Protein backbone atom coordinates (compact mmCIF):
# COMPACT_ATOMS: atom_id res chain seq x y z
CA UNK A 1 0.00 0.00 0.00
CA UNK A 2 1.28 3.43 -0.77
CA UNK A 3 -0.13 5.72 1.87
CA UNK A 4 0.46 9.31 0.92
CA UNK A 5 0.46 11.22 4.13
CA UNK A 6 -1.47 14.42 3.74
CA UNK A 7 -1.19 17.47 6.00
CA UNK A 8 -3.86 18.25 8.59
CA UNK A 9 -6.51 16.11 6.97
CA UNK A 10 -4.78 12.99 8.17
CA UNK A 11 -3.91 10.18 5.85
CA UNK A 12 -5.04 10.08 2.28
CA UNK A 13 -4.85 6.59 0.93
CA UNK A 14 -3.18 6.16 -2.42
CA UNK A 15 -3.84 2.44 -2.62
CA UNK A 16 -4.93 1.20 -5.99
CA UNK A 17 -7.48 -0.97 -4.20
CA UNK A 18 -9.27 2.12 -2.97
CA UNK A 19 -11.75 2.63 -5.75
CA UNK A 20 -14.55 5.05 -6.28
CA UNK A 21 -17.75 3.47 -5.09
CA UNK A 22 -21.14 3.80 -6.64
CA UNK A 23 -23.68 5.35 -4.33
CA UNK A 24 -26.04 2.97 -2.64
CA UNK A 25 -27.54 1.88 0.62
CA UNK A 26 -27.48 -1.34 2.49
CA UNK A 27 -29.58 -2.59 5.36
CA UNK A 28 -28.21 -1.79 8.77
CA UNK A 29 -26.65 -4.76 10.49
CA UNK A 30 -25.49 -2.91 13.58
CA UNK A 31 -28.78 -3.46 15.40
CA UNK A 32 -29.16 -7.09 14.44
CA UNK A 33 -28.54 -9.62 17.21
CA UNK A 34 -24.99 -10.88 17.10
CA UNK A 35 -24.55 -14.18 15.33
CA UNK A 36 -23.52 -17.03 17.61
CA UNK A 37 -21.00 -18.01 14.95
CA UNK A 38 -17.83 -15.94 15.10
CA UNK A 39 -16.34 -15.43 11.65
CA UNK A 40 -13.12 -13.64 10.77
CA UNK A 41 -12.88 -12.17 7.29
CA UNK A 42 -9.34 -11.93 5.92
CA UNK A 43 -9.03 -9.56 3.01
CA UNK A 44 -5.78 -9.96 1.07
CA UNK A 45 -5.59 -6.53 -0.55
CA UNK A 46 -4.83 -6.08 -4.26
CA UNK A 47 -4.69 -9.04 -6.67
CA UNK A 48 -4.95 -9.67 -10.40
CA UNK A 49 -4.21 -6.55 -12.42
CA UNK A 50 -3.77 -4.57 -9.18
CA UNK A 51 -0.28 -5.58 -8.03
CA UNK A 52 -0.10 -3.04 -5.18
CA UNK A 53 3.39 -1.88 -4.28
CA UNK A 54 6.69 -3.60 -4.98
CA UNK A 55 8.99 -4.60 -2.16
CA UNK A 56 12.74 -4.14 -2.37
CA UNK A 57 13.02 -7.91 -2.78
CA UNK A 58 11.08 -7.49 -6.02
CA UNK A 59 8.08 -9.27 -4.58
CA UNK A 60 4.70 -7.72 -5.40
CA UNK A 61 2.44 -6.60 -2.59
CA UNK A 62 -0.50 -8.63 -3.95
CA UNK A 63 1.51 -11.85 -3.46
CA UNK A 64 2.69 -10.92 0.04
CA UNK A 65 -0.84 -10.15 1.22
CA UNK A 66 -2.09 -13.48 -0.14
CA UNK A 67 0.73 -15.38 1.60
CA UNK A 68 -0.09 -13.72 4.89
CA UNK A 69 -3.80 -14.39 4.37
CA UNK A 70 -3.13 -18.10 3.87
CA UNK A 71 -0.91 -18.25 6.98
CA UNK A 72 -3.43 -16.47 9.16
CA UNK A 73 -6.34 -18.50 7.83
CA UNK A 74 -4.66 -21.79 8.73
CA UNK A 75 -3.68 -20.58 12.21
CA UNK A 76 -7.25 -19.43 12.88
CA UNK A 77 -8.72 -22.66 11.52
CA UNK A 78 -6.41 -24.60 13.85
CA UNK A 79 -7.89 -22.60 16.73
CA UNK A 80 -11.45 -23.41 15.65
CA UNK A 81 -12.22 -19.98 14.24
CA UNK A 82 -14.31 -19.83 11.06
CA UNK A 83 -12.64 -17.81 8.32
CA UNK A 84 -13.89 -16.28 5.10
CA UNK A 85 -11.38 -14.80 2.68
CA UNK A 86 -11.97 -12.27 -0.07
CA UNK A 87 -9.60 -14.11 -2.39
CA UNK A 88 -7.61 -17.35 -2.48
CA UNK A 89 -5.65 -16.69 -5.64
CA UNK A 90 -4.26 -13.92 -7.83
CA UNK A 91 -7.59 -12.47 -8.96
CA UNK A 92 -9.15 -9.03 -9.21
CA UNK A 93 -11.56 -8.23 -6.39
CA UNK A 94 -12.92 -4.70 -6.28
CA UNK A 95 -13.54 -2.75 -3.09
CA UNK A 96 -17.32 -3.14 -3.28
CA UNK A 97 -17.02 -6.91 -3.49
CA UNK A 98 -14.59 -7.02 -0.56
CA UNK A 99 -17.06 -5.13 1.62
CA UNK A 100 -19.94 -7.29 0.39
CA UNK A 101 -18.07 -10.45 1.43
CA UNK A 102 -17.35 -9.07 4.91
CA UNK A 103 -20.91 -7.85 5.39
CA UNK A 104 -22.50 -11.03 4.11
CA UNK A 105 -20.35 -13.05 6.51
CA UNK A 106 -21.47 -10.76 9.37
CA UNK A 107 -17.85 -10.82 10.39
CA UNK A 108 -16.81 -10.61 14.03
CA UNK A 109 -13.61 -9.02 12.72
CA UNK A 110 -12.29 -8.12 9.31
CA UNK A 111 -8.61 -7.54 8.59
CA UNK A 112 -7.63 -6.00 5.28
CA UNK A 113 -3.98 -6.96 4.72
CA UNK A 114 -1.38 -4.79 2.99
CA UNK A 115 2.41 -4.74 2.79
CA UNK A 116 4.80 -1.85 2.33
CA UNK A 117 8.48 -1.04 2.14
CA UNK A 118 7.86 2.23 3.99
CA UNK A 119 8.21 2.61 7.75
CA UNK A 120 8.73 -0.26 10.12
CA UNK A 121 6.77 -2.93 11.91
CA UNK A 122 3.01 -3.11 11.69
CA UNK A 123 0.76 -0.21 10.74
CA UNK A 124 -2.85 -0.45 11.90
CA UNK A 125 -5.38 1.79 10.17
CA UNK A 126 -8.90 2.36 11.41
CA UNK A 127 -11.45 4.22 9.30
CA UNK A 128 -11.40 8.01 9.71
CA UNK A 129 -15.20 8.17 9.44
CA UNK A 130 -16.94 9.96 12.29
CA UNK A 131 -18.90 7.66 14.59
CA UNK A 132 -22.60 7.47 13.74
CA UNK A 133 -25.61 5.89 15.36
CA UNK A 134 -26.82 2.71 13.69
CA UNK A 135 -29.56 3.62 11.24
CA UNK A 136 -32.25 1.65 9.46
CA UNK A 137 -30.25 2.01 6.28
CA UNK A 138 -26.59 2.86 6.25
CA UNK A 139 -25.14 4.78 3.34
CA UNK A 140 -22.85 2.33 1.61
CA UNK A 141 -19.81 4.58 1.53
CA UNK A 142 -19.98 5.41 5.24
CA UNK A 143 -21.50 2.24 6.72
CA UNK A 144 -18.42 1.73 8.90
CA UNK A 145 -19.37 4.86 10.84
CA UNK A 146 -21.73 2.85 13.05
CA UNK A 147 -18.91 0.42 13.84
CA UNK A 148 -16.06 2.81 14.59
CA UNK A 149 -15.98 2.21 18.32
CA UNK A 150 -15.83 -1.57 17.83
CA UNK A 151 -13.17 -1.18 15.15
CA UNK A 152 -11.07 0.99 17.47
CA UNK A 153 -11.48 -1.64 20.20
CA UNK A 154 -10.34 -4.32 17.74
CA UNK A 155 -7.33 -2.19 16.77
CA UNK A 156 -6.54 -1.86 20.49
CA UNK A 157 -6.70 -5.62 21.02
CA UNK A 158 -4.47 -6.30 18.01
CA UNK A 159 -2.08 -3.52 19.01
CA UNK A 160 -1.75 -5.10 22.45
CA UNK A 161 -0.96 -8.54 21.04
CA UNK A 162 1.55 -7.19 18.51
CA UNK A 163 3.36 -5.08 21.11
CA UNK A 164 3.42 -8.07 23.44
CA UNK A 165 5.06 -10.08 20.63
CA UNK A 166 7.73 -7.39 20.26
CA UNK A 167 6.60 -5.63 17.09
CA UNK A 168 6.75 -1.91 16.44
CA UNK A 169 3.15 -0.78 15.93
CA UNK A 170 1.77 2.44 14.51
CA UNK A 171 -1.92 3.27 14.91
CA UNK A 172 -3.61 5.71 12.52
CA UNK A 173 -7.01 6.72 11.17
CA UNK A 174 -7.52 7.06 7.44
CA UNK A 175 -10.06 6.80 4.64
CA UNK A 176 -10.25 3.17 3.56
CA UNK A 177 -12.68 2.58 0.72
CA UNK A 178 -13.40 -1.11 1.30
CA UNK A 179 -13.30 -0.88 5.10
CA UNK A 180 -15.47 2.27 5.11
CA UNK A 181 -18.30 0.19 3.64
CA UNK A 182 -17.99 -2.68 6.11
CA UNK A 183 -20.62 -3.26 8.78
CA UNK A 184 -18.32 -5.07 11.21
CA UNK A 185 -15.28 -4.38 13.37
CA UNK A 186 -12.72 -3.79 10.65
CA UNK A 187 -9.27 -2.39 10.04
CA UNK A 188 -6.44 -2.35 7.55
CA UNK A 189 -3.15 -3.86 8.64
CA UNK A 190 0.02 -3.05 6.73
CA UNK A 191 3.16 -5.11 7.23
CA UNK A 192 6.30 -3.00 6.84
CA UNK A 193 9.86 -4.30 7.24
CA UNK A 194 11.14 -5.15 10.70
CA UNK A 195 14.05 -2.83 11.52
CA UNK A 196 16.77 -2.80 14.11
CA UNK A 197 17.59 0.15 16.35
CA UNK A 198 19.83 1.51 13.59
CA UNK A 199 16.92 1.52 11.14
CA UNK A 200 18.37 -1.28 9.06
CA UNK A 201 15.92 -3.86 7.75
CA UNK A 202 16.09 -7.15 9.66
CA UNK A 203 13.16 -8.82 7.87
CA UNK A 204 11.21 -7.92 4.75
CA UNK A 205 7.41 -8.30 4.70
CA UNK A 206 7.76 -11.40 2.51
CA UNK A 207 10.11 -13.11 4.99
CA UNK A 208 8.46 -16.40 6.00
CA UNK A 209 9.56 -16.30 9.65
CA UNK A 210 8.48 -12.69 10.05
CA UNK A 211 5.11 -13.41 8.49
CA UNK A 212 4.61 -16.43 10.73
CA UNK A 213 5.29 -14.28 13.84
CA UNK A 214 2.84 -11.63 12.68
CA UNK A 215 0.19 -14.23 11.89
CA UNK A 216 0.70 -15.87 15.30
CA UNK A 217 0.20 -12.59 17.16
CA UNK A 218 -2.89 -11.82 15.08
CA UNK A 219 -4.38 -15.25 15.73
CA UNK A 220 -3.86 -14.80 19.49
CA UNK A 221 -5.48 -11.38 19.37
CA UNK A 222 -8.48 -12.67 17.42
CA UNK A 223 -8.96 -15.56 19.83
CA UNK A 224 -9.08 -13.05 22.69
CA UNK A 225 -11.39 -10.85 20.66
CA UNK A 226 -13.82 -13.72 20.13
CA UNK A 227 -13.94 -14.44 23.87
CA UNK A 228 -14.45 -10.76 24.65
CA UNK A 229 -17.41 -10.66 22.24
CA UNK A 230 -19.07 -13.54 24.05
CA UNK A 231 -19.15 -11.70 27.35
CA UNK A 232 -22.52 -10.11 28.16
ZN1 LIG B 1 -1.76 -1.97 -0.32
Sign, CA dihedral 22-16-12-202, equals: positive
Residue-by-residue DSSP string for 30-82: TTSPPPSS-EEEEEE--BTTB---B-TTS-BHHHHHHHHHHHHHHHHHHTT-E
Residue 230: pLDDT band with limits 50, 70, 90: low
Q: Is the pLDDT of residue 6 over 50?
A: no
CB atoms < 10 A from the CB of 12, how many? 14
Burial 27-59 (b: 16+ CB within 10 A, else e): ebbbeeeeeeebbbbbbbbbbeebebbebeeeb
- 110 Cα–ligand 1 center, Å: 16
CA distances from 195 to 120, 123, 160, 191, 199 (A): 6, 14, 19, 12, 5
- 153 Cα–ligand 1 center, Å: 23
Q: Is the pLDDT of residue 198 over 60?
A: yes
- 116 Cα–ligand 1 center, Å: 7
Mean pLDDT of the chain: 86
- 17 Cα–ligand 1 center, Å: 7
CB atoms < 10 A from the CB of 136, how many? 8
Q: Is the pLDDT of residue 136 over 80?
A: no
- 114 Cα–ligand 1 center, Å: 4
- 34 Cα–ligand 1 center, Å: 30
- 53 Cα–ligand 1 center, Å: 6
pLDDT digits (tens, 9 = 90+) for 88-99: 999 999 999 999
- 230 Cα–ligand 1 center, Å: 32
Average pLDDT value for residue range 175-186: 95
pLDDT digits (tens, 9 = 90+) for 22-52: 344 554 444 444 446 899 999 999 999 999 9
- 37 Cα–ligand 1 center, Å: 29
Average pLDDT value for residue range 153-164: 97
Q: Which of 113, 126, 117, 123 shows the shortest CA–CA distance to 72?
A: 113
Residue 11: pLDDT band with limits 50, 70, 90: very low
pTM of the model: 0.84
Pick the CATH number of 35-230 from 1.10.10.10, 3.55.40.10, 3.30.479.30, 3.40.630.40: 3.40.630.40
Average pLDDT value for residue range 7-31: 40
Average pLDDT value for residue range 208-218: 98
- 91 Cα–ligand 1 center, Å: 15
The residues spanned by each domain of the chain are 35-230
Amino acid sequence: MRWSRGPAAGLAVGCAAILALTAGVLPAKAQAPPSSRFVVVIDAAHGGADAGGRLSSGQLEKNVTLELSVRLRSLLAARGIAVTTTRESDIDVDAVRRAEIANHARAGACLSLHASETGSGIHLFTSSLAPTQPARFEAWKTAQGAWISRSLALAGAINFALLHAGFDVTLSRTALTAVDSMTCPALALEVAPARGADGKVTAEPDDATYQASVANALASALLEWRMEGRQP
